[in-house]
Amino acid sequence: MANRFLAPMISLVAISIFAPDILCAQDRQPGAVYDRDRRGERPAPAPKHDISGTWEPAKGAGAGVQGKGAQSMVSCEYKVPGDPNSGFAHDPKAPVPDCLKPAQEPPYTALGRQALMSHIPTEGYRMVASALTNDPVPPCNPQGFPRIVLHNFRTSRIIQTPTNMVILYEFNKKWRVVWTDGRELPKNPEEPTWGEPDPPESRWWGYSVGKWADDYTFVAESNGFDDRTWLDNAGLPHSDAMHVEERYRRVDRDHLEMTITIDDPQMYAKPWIALDKFSLRLQSPNFDMREMECAPLETEEYNREFADPAAGRDTAK
Amino acid sequence: MRKTLITTAAVLCTFLIVSVSLLAHHGNAEFNTDKTVTVKGAVTEWVWANPHCFLKFDEKTTDGDVRHWVVETSNPPGMINLGWNKYSFKPGDEITVTMHQVKDVKRPIGRAVRVVLANGKVLDTGRDDVTTGTAGGSESESYTK
């Protein structure tokens, strides 16, 4: 009888030690380096005024996916008794719908909650079948900023030039520019700006400017957004008055922390942090980012062959 | 012992990774994630595409009919991370698919948990057998209709 319990116990201890490296290696972009690959390392000091490079979520390829919505990484965190470092899974005692709720709800205004309820998402506690959503992204509309980092942050590359930072995102193969040439964000939507003859138009990706707050911290500010985008896959809304602060702190040579703060008085009663010190790890200079493109041709086939029938719609065959 | 080790390892691993880490496009509203269903069949098509790859295969039912299944996985970058690729399957390959079926069980549609090839090779999707996260509590059943 003792052996019956001894074997699982020994297994548990052994796997507790080795599982993150062996089994969870599947959560790995081939060629990428994660923190678990460099246990006990002493990273070199951070270079000054430099956040360039290819960055990957430090904890693993999937760590940048917030399926339940922004600010929800710790919702229903499971703690293995006696292991203060365990977590990340659903608490088996908690009902699934509760686990899908954010750990802390954003401070919605009445209009914000109304906008939230008008969104029918495929993730989070209000999720529906893929074919029943009104999410603009599945049919390949732009997810825009900051959704590109709040839902599915994958490998990204920052190119630093004398006048701007260009950020290349793997997810849906998108890019944006953060200007560092001293210009200011558009202030009045009715006045021309940035040397253009016409007033600024709302943009899916907004207008972005940035500067160094100190030797190791780069802060970007963005506004001028098109309010048809969502903040995340759970359907959190924003208005065209949203202002986003994007803070990058170079912790050491190999790590960059990213914090995103949403300030949108129309939708939220006060500014709130949507992503808090999310850790990124520097990859090799010759690391090749994959192509991940939203192609209507492929999406139509997917909907016809899978999503529609899965939701009970018989559009196929 | 070996089986226990593997089972325990698999369960613990699900606690150590974010269980939603591979979701890129949508959640699991369509699927019954309380149990898995296992079906044997022959591949008819493997579609390697965004937003999700999907595998089509035919099951020969006990009454002599053929049931046309389609199961989805994550997207190509996510599947590459798991050891899959565009050439993982070819038409005619005999496979055993474990999946979360859609809630309407009359529909032969699901989301793959793992696929086992005839040579014993296991391709995992990184999903829990039971997404409620019940440690060691997966309820698998064979689907033989």
Assigned CATH class of A53-65+110-282: mainly beta
Cα A143 to Cα B24: distance, rounded to the nearest angstrom: 13
Helix (H) or strand (E) holding A213: strand A207-214
The reported pLDDT for the residue numbered A315 is 56
Q: Tokens 């201890």 map to which residue? A: A13
Which residues in chain A have Cβ-Cβ distances shorter than 8 Å to B21? 27, 60-63, 65
Residue B77 contacts A where some CB pair is shorter than 8 Å? yes
Q: Which residue, among B79, B81, B122, would best test binding to A if mutated, counting the most A CBs under 10 Å from its CB?
A: B81
Phi, psi (rounded to 5 degrees) for A10:
-65, -40
Whether residue A62 and residue B18 make contact (CB cut-off 8 A), yes or no, is yes
Helix (H) or strand (E) holding B69: strand B66-72
pLDDT at B140 over 60: no
Which residues in chain B have Cβ-Cβ distances shorter than 8 Å to A26? 81-83, 124, 126
Assigned CATH class of B2-142: mainly beta
Contacts 24+ apart (CB under 8 A), A221-224: A221/A185, A221/A245, A221/A246, A222/A145, A222/A146, A222/A178, A222/A185, A222/A246, A223/A185, A223/A186, A224/A185, A224/A186, A224/A189, A224/A200
Q: Which residue on chain B is closest to A11 by alpha carbon?
A: B5
Residue that wins the pLDDT comparison between A149 and B143: A149
Q: What is the pLDDT of residues B7-48, one digit of tens each?
A: 444 444 433 333 333 444 677 788 888 889 999 999 999 999
Of A100, A123, A171, the CB nearest to B26: A123
Residue that wins the pLDDT comparison between A199 and B106: B106
The reported pLDDT for the residue numbered A311 is 87
Domain ranges of chain A: 53-65+110-282
Which residues in chain B have Cβ-Cβ distances shorter than 8 Å to A123? 20, 23, 26-27
Instruction: For chain A, list residues with pLDDT below 50.
Output: 1-3, 5, 7-26, 73-75, 78-79, 84-91, 316-317
A77 burial type by CB count under 10 A (0-12 exposed, 13-18 middle, 19+ buried): middle
Domain ranges of chain B: 2-142
Cα A221 to Cα A206: distance, rounded to the nearest angstrom: 10
For residue B128, give the nearest of B44, B5, B23 by alpha carbon.
Answer: B23
Q: What is the pLDDT of residues A5-20, one digit of tens each?
A: 454 444 444 444 344 4
